[in-house]
Amino acid sequence: MANLWSMLTATRNKGRWDWTDWVSYSYLFLGVFLMFFPVIWLVLSSFKTEADLQRYPPTFLPYQQETVMVEGFDEPLPLFRMTAGDYEGQTLAQLRRVGLQAQMIDPANPAERLRVSIDDREPVQGVALALENYTGLFERFNFLRFFWNSTFITVTATLIMLLVNAMAAFALSKYEFRGRTTVLLLVIGTLMIPQTVVLVPLFLIVSELGMLNSLWGVIIPGAATPTGVFLLRQYMITIPDEILDAARMDKASEWKIFWRIILPLSAPAIAVLAILAIMWRWNDFLWPLIVLTQSENFTLQLALNSFQGELQTDWSSLLAMTVLTLLPIAAVFMFLQKYIATGIASTGGK
Amino acid sequence: MLVILNPLMRIIEIPMMALQRLLGVNRLAWVFLLPNLLLFGLFAFLPVILNFSYSLTGGDNVLLEARPYVGGRNFETLTSCSSFLDPNTCIEDKFWRAVWNTLWFVTLQVGIMVGFALLTAIILNRDIRARGFFRSVFFFPVLLSPVVVALIWKWILQREGVLNAFLDWIGIGGFNWLIDAEWAFAWTVFLSVWAHMGFYTLILLAGLQAIPRDVYEAALMDRASPWRTFRRITLPLLSPTMLVVLVLALIKGVQTFDEVYAFTGGGPGTATTFIIQYIYEEGFAGAPRLFGLAAAASLLVAIVLVMLTLIQLWINRRNVDG
């Protein structure tokens, strides 16, 4: 606690708070709330049962009605606390409900059946995680299929992109050849052509190549990016030419120089690009939406989007699926956030 | 991973060595460039050319040879209005609604987002404890997928959601946020500010940190007030970064689709239908598929984006030179 206080009070004026400090920290903590609460709320909600999700006003933590195993019954029975009537204050288990009446038993004394009015009782509830929201995804939906599709696209597209972009960046940074400036201009030119403005012809080309409704149709068209070429080229230029010359003296082939020397030395830039590529591909939406029309080819993003239409009321599955979709990215972020920040700042996003 | 890649690279080495012997070292550069250029040609430059043919032809066939030439009719359809300010007077009223929605959206979203990003960056640039933590807090929504962002907020904003519960509790009462056209529009702006602000904050923070400390120390010596320091030092020295951020935000704002499509589906009605969604729906979602109209609209968007990108490149160059 003392630590926390000293963290909060330390300012540039050595402990003296002026109003700007108050404003700054208030703003920041408001920001923390606004940025974190929605995600925390999503995660907590995803552990609620369908009945609990429909409760209004909602509770913060997921609750479930407590149950009890009573001798002589196979199923666990829901527990109620009596608030009025003959049994006020007692906790009883419900056998069945008949209209406005319910048949209850005292778990301690299961032989005796008690009839009570349903107005005289309230359910006993405890904090419990509805893990069935998650397990249900694997049983009821093709969740693993979507997960696999997303993973396959992300991994394959990232690898292809790294290789293709690194090769181009190598050529553009380490060779003197006629037409190099033209190629660089062409690469800059592609910056001006985002997928969003060439959707129709891109659709034709992909379908002519027979890649419609195939994961390759999502992977290949975006496999070369101008951002990647520039990012890697910028880094490769800093690798001294002497290393290459030494390797050439030793009769290393150009490909070997690329693969054994340039790529390992560019690892930091490649790591940044890899993280960006993973993020773009995992979160990609519009182009997969156009290419993949059969649900067995859906990525997680497409599946989520189509389920929210179909399952308007089935929030429990939808929320669990949303959490599982953001989990891999959250994991990447936790471990690599330093690279992500520098990577994005240096490339200006996409 | 290397276990798979290493043998693969060795296999590629064989033809590459043959090519090297055939072409010589310098011309081998083209071989290294080839895959990338092929992909750019096939999936970036060729589509740009084909897009013109689509925009000049009609029908719902995707194969170009089966499409009748209609000249500028697609553009005429898109642009025939008695008054451009009122989409109801246009033949293709949905296009103009999308255009106006996009213009409003971009103006509001970019303005609000860059404003808050600047404020956040300035606060983060002070001597703040746990700056790294706060920085990542503002940044992490950038990584979330658009669909996830949309669902998170849909869940909060639904009729019996947590926001309405809170408003009930303080006595204001709830709203049907996404059913009311104006609220839905306001929330799409909010949602996209929430999701993307961290990215621009990061760039602006880097810009602020590049301002040399001694300028501020000199201002302190001269007893300049904090407000004056901000107006006369911070803002002018930050303006190149601000310009980059504005143009980038505009480029991305015009292309807004994913999160809004998953969030409101463009509704209620067409209240949150933006231009990319219009293109998607004309070309791919409805029947008949009006590729011609979609391509013509794409071309108009492309013109705007090319101009913005040229401005961006020009600024970048100027920043580097200056």
List all residues of chain A from 15 to 34 with a beta carbon under 8 Å from chain B. 20, 24-25, 27-28, 31-32, 34
Let me know if residue A57 belongs to a domain: no
Cβ distance B137 to A256 less than 8 Å, yes or no, reads no
Is B163 in the A-facing interface, judged by CB distances under 8 Å? Answer: no
Region B168-196: mean pLDDT is 91
CA-to-CA separations, B25 to A156, A246, A260, B48, in angstroms, rounded: 30, 15, 17, 33
Q: Alpha helix (H) ranges present in chain A?
A: 2-9, 19-45, 50-53, 132-140, 143-174, 180-191, 199-208, 215-219, 226-237, 241-249, 254-256, 263-265, 267-283, 286-291, 300-310, 315-347
Average per-residue pLDDT for chain B: 89
Q: What is the pLDDT of residue A11?
A: 45
Same domain, B10 and B134: no
Judge contact between B257 and B274, C-beta under 8 A.
yes
pLDDT exceeds 60 at position A112: yes
Cβ distance B16 to A255 less than 8 Å, yes or no, reads yes
CB atoms < 10 A from the CB of A268, how many?
12
Same domain, A114 and A226: no
Judge contact between A174 and A262, C-beta under 8 A.
yes
Q: What is the pLDDT of residue B168?
A: 87
- Indicate the DSSP class of residue B81: B
Let me know if residue A129 belongs to a domain: no
Q: Which residues contact B155 (CB under 8 A, 6 or more apart)?
A: A41, A42, A45, A315, A319, B161
List all residues of chain A from 214 to 233 with a beta carbon under 8 Å from chain B. 220-224, 229
Is A142 in the B-facing interface, judged by CB distances under 8 Å? Answer: no
Partners of residue B25 in chain A, C-beta under 8 Å? 175, 248, 254
Q: What is the pLDDT of residue A311?
A: 56
3-state secondary structure of A33: helix
Let me know if residue A60 belongs to a domain: no
> Which residue in A20, A175, A318 is closest to B151 by CB distance?
A318
How far does the CA of residue B300 sit from the closest CA of chain A (Å)?
9
pLDDT exceeds 90 at position B129: no
Let me know if residue A103 belongs to a domain: yes
Cβ distance A344 to B134 less than 8 Å, yes or no, reads no
pLDDT exceeds 80 at position B177: yes
Q: Which domain holds residue A116?
A: 67-123
Residue linked to tokens 């592609």:
A190
A232 sits in the region (left: phi over 0; alpha: psi -120 to 50; else beta) called alpha
pLDDT exceeds 90 at position B47: yes
Which of B40, B46, B179 best probes binding to A when mutated, by most A CB atoms within 10 angstroms? B40
The residue from A59, A93, A123 where one domain ends is A123
Task: Give A156's pLDDT tier (boundaries 50, 70, 90).
Answer: very high
Same domain, B137 and B259: yes
CA dihedral sign of residues A219, A221, A227, A233: positive
How far does the CA of residue A310 sit from the closest CA of chain B (Å)?
13
Same domain, A296 and A199: yes
Let me know if residue B290 belongs to a domain: yes
Q: What is the pLDDT of residue B78?
A: 85
Closest chain B residue by Cα to residue A327: B144
The DSSP result for A192-255, as a single string, is T--GGGSHHHHHHHHHHTT-TTSHHHHHTTTS--HHHHHHHHHHHHTS-HHHHHHHHHTT--HH
Same domain, A306 and A248: yes
Same domain, B83 and B153: yes
Among candidates B78, B101, B104, which has minimal Cα distance to B270?
B101
> Which residue in B26, B124, B294 is closest to A176 by CB distance?
B26
- What is the C-alpha radius of gyration for chain A, rounded to an integer number of angstroms? 30
Same domain, B22 and B84: no
> Residue A110 is part of a domain; what is its CATH number?
2.30.30
Let me know if residue A51 belongs to a domain: no
Let me know if residue B60 belongs to a domain: no
Same domain, B206 and B281: yes
Give the CA dihedral A137, A142, A148, A154, nearest 10 degrees. Answer: -90
Let me know if residue A56 belongs to a domain: no
How far does the CA of residue A301 sit from the closest CA of chain B (Å)?
6
Cβ distance A322 to B139 less than 8 Å, yes or no, reads no
The total number of structural domains in chain A stands at 3
Q: Which residues contact A342 (CB under 8 A, 6 or more apart)?
A: A272
Q: Which domain holds residue B123?
A: 74-321
Same domain, A287 and A152: yes
Same domain, B33 and B85: no
Q: What is the pLDDT of residue A349?
A: 46
Same domain, A115 and A203: no
Element (H, E) at A122: strand A121-123
Q: What percent of chain A has pLDDT over 70?
A: 90
Let me know if residue A329 belongs to a domain: yes
CA-to-CA separations, B93 to B80, B85, B118, B133, B252, in angstroms, rounded: 9, 11, 37, 47, 24
SS (H, E, C) B191-249: HHHHHHHHHHHHHHHHHHHCCCHHHHHHHHHCCCCHHHHHHHHHHHHHHHHHHHHHHHH
Is A304 in the B-facing interface, judged by CB distances under 8 Å? Answer: yes
Partners of residue A12 in chain B, C-beta under 8 Å? 126-127
Among candidates B317, B261, B165, B69, which has minimal Cα distance to A285?
B261
Q: Which ipTM did the prediction report?
A: 0.88
Same domain, A234 and A309: yes
The total number of structural domains in chain B stands at 2
Region A245-266: mean pLDDT is 91
The 10s digit of each residue's pLDDT in B245-297 is: 998 899 999 999 999 999 998 879 899 999 999 999 999 887 788 899 999 99
Same domain, B151 and B220: yes
Let me know if residue A136 belongs to a domain: no
Average per-residue pLDDT for chain A: 85
Same domain, B17 and B113: no
The 10s digit of each residue's pLDDT in A90-104 is: 788 887 787 788 888
pLDDT exceeds 70 at position A202: yes
Task: Give A15's pLDDT tier (boundaries 50, 70, 90).
Answer: low
Q: What is the pLDDT of residue B89?
A: 81
Let me know if residue B68 belongs to a domain: no
Region B199-212: mean pLDDT is 90
Same domain, A96 and A210: no
Same domain, B126 and B165: yes
